[in-house]
Amino acid sequence: AQSVSQHNHHVILSEAASLELGCNYSYGGTVNLFWYVQYPGQHLQLLLKYFSGDPLVKGIKGFEAEFIKSKFSFNLRKPSVQWSDTAEYFCAVNPGSWGKLQFGAGTQVVVTP
Amino acid sequence: DTGVSQDPRHKITKRGQNVTFRCDPISEHNRLYWYRQTLGQGPEFLTYFQNEAQLEKSRLLSDRFSAERPKGSFSTLEIQRTEQGDSAMYLCASSLGGATDTQYFGPGTRLTVL
């Protein structure tokens, strides 16, 4: 079955540590890729997106993601996290032309002071 | 840009009752999506509208569920004869469409079926 996999369900790290969240998908062909973030008590917000071109995309709040087509991966990174990055992070894939998103299960990230 | 809005934000109902949720998309967004999210999971696609036309429904959407977007603006999602398994967060998203289609989500309606 076609799917989106996020490697870690929970991540705990200290402020200033580097963060990398894995995302792999099983769809073939052209896909559009997204990372969404959900801060405590808030709704899903778009962090960054990839459609084509440079496989390294930059998003808001210092986040970036790298698309590696050969590995079917779209990993999210941030060099130095802050306490305010505590949130749940979702990888999403649009495998078709009309926009339906397939989400991963999410990764809960807790940043300790 | 006022964002996607949903009403109500919370709904508690008894099993067997009908409930209806409303979603107002970002103005001029012609695509509208409904998703369902349960604890510990990512959102799951339910259905999708292009203007007023409902173009796809997930197998998750049983015949107790119906969605409408009568004038191509706001949408409603109705659940008839609710069951405890319907308890979830119901999310609405809207987008402009096109090759770089990007969905923007509302705050959701949390449904609790007792």
Question: How far from chain centre, in Å, is Cα B11?
Answer: 14
Q: How far apart are CA B16 and CA B113, in angstroms?
A: 9
What secondary structure, in 3-state letters, does B85-99 show? HHCEEEEEEEECCCC
Residue B85: pLDDT band with limits 50, 70, 90: very high
Helix (H, G, I), strand (E, B) or coil at A61: helix
Per the CB < 8 A criterion, the answer to whether B108 and B89 are in contact is: yes
- pLDDT, position A16: 97
Strands B109-113 and B10-13: parallel
Q: pLDDT tens-digit profile of A100-110?
A: 899 999 999 99
Question: How far from chain centre, in Å, is Cα B32?
Answer: 8
Q: How far apart are CA A105 and CA B44, in angstroms?
A: 10
- pLDDT, position A7: 86
Residue B77 in this model has a pLDDT that exceeds 80:
yes
Written as one letter, the residue type at A8 is: N
User: Across the interface, which of A43, A49, A92 has its CB nearest the CB of B108?
Assistant: A43
- pLDDT, position A97: 57
Q: pLDDT tens-digit profile of A72-98?
A: 999 999 999 999 999 999 999 998 656
Cβ distance A99 to B44 less than 8 Å, yes or no, reads no
State the best of A8, A21, A43 to mutate against chain B, taking most chain B CBs within 10 Å: A43
Question: Does A59 touch chain B if contact means CB atoms closer than 8 Å?
Answer: no
State the best of A100, A102, A107, A108 to mutate against chain B, taking most chain B CBs within 10 Å: A100
Q: How far apart are CA B110 and CA B63, in angstroms?
A: 21
Q: pLDDT tens-digit profile of A13-58?
A: 999 999 999 999 998 788 899 999 999 989 999 999 999 999 999 9
Residue B82 in this model has a pLDDT that exceeds 60:
yes
Q: pLDDT tens-digit profile of B10-68?
A: 999 999 999 999 999 999 899 999 999 998 899 999 999 999 999 988 887 889 999 99
